[in-house]
Amino acid sequence: MGLFKRNPFGHILFLKKWLIRIMGAMSHRRFRGFNELQIEGSEIIKNLPENNVLFISNHQTYFADVVAMFHVFNASLSGRGDSIKNVGYLWNPKLNIYYVAAKETMKSGLLPKILAYAGSVSIERTWRAAGQDVNRQVRMSDITNIGTALNDGWVITFPQGTTTPFKPIRKGTAHIIKRYKPIVVPIVIDGFRRSFDKKGLRIKKKNILQSMEIKEPLVIDYDNESTEDIVKKIEFAIEQHPSFLKVLTPQQIKEQEELNKLREW
Ligand SMILES: CCCCCCCCCCCCCCCC(=O)OC[C@@H](O)COP(=O)(O)O
């Protein structure tokens, strides 16, 4: 027992709280200020249990996606409806929020190392490392660490494991779901790629329409559905199934163009 309370990963919660407060205050304007993040579904956040929740999302930038989610989750928990107005919601942030990240990304500099303290469950990707295709074994400790995080709270994951859109969903996510049986909440984000650089640290363009849609939890029969079925469900839920690339109706194209106008830079 030390002087400070720690989480199951040994992180001192007092430090984690200050890190979130400071990073949150510094990043708030990126989502409400010179950009205006459009949020949908924040009431879903309010009704979730304290732990064993897995958020699955499409992925656009290394760091900004997760930072935006920390804002939205905490704002929703402090009673804001689809809004991150008034950053006071970060004074007492939810401390048991984690995110799954590539180990190499979280070790790639001082800032990522600091951000990791805010809740990274860092894992080794089995199929890609240092920009090369590789083929390596899943590490058991990576899986159990995700289990530990789920047991303690909420976990954000990007099942495609890369910021390239329409890449396949990694099967590992489905295995995790069958094994730990979390509530699975899909999230679809957009506009991050245009407002930030690849890492999500530099601002590429202001006044970009950013959006985050939180969807109803997936209905999953954990024991009887196959990993393939679950992968398919995830693909549709986070709108990364190839069919989302297919021919659109003239009405849909018109709507897309309207939206793209708002994203122009
Ligand atoms: C309110 C603000 C509170 C601040 C909380 C800190 C949040 C830390 C954000 C860190 C998020 C890291 C998330 C996962 C990053 C990741 O692992 O991305 C995949 C890339 O590696 C590889 O992608 P690619 O190069 O496209 O194949």
ipTM score of complex: 0.92
CATH class of the domain whose range is 13-262: alpha beta
What is residue 254's predicted lDDT score, i.e. its pLDDT? 81
Instruction: Please report the DSSP string for 219-243 in residue order.
Output: P--TTTS-HHHHHHHHHHHTT-SGG
Task: Say if ligand 1 is within 6 A of residue 20 CB.
Answer: yes
Tell me 90's DSSP state.
Answer: G
pTM, two decimal places: 0.92
What is residue 37's predicted lDDT score, i.e. its pLDDT? 97
Q: Any idea where the domains of the chain sit in the sequence?
A: 13-262
Separation of CA 206 and ligand 1 centre (Å): 21
| Residue 46 and residue 76 in contact, taking contact as beta carbons nearer than 8 Å | yes
Tell me the best of 98, 111, 163 to mutate to test the pocket of ligand 1, counting ligand atoms within 8 Å of each CB and taking the most.
163
pLDDT in tens, 81-109: 999 999 999 999 999 999 999 999 999 99
Task: Say if ligand 1 is within 6 A of residue 24 CB.
Answer: yes
The structure tokens listed for 205 are 């363009």
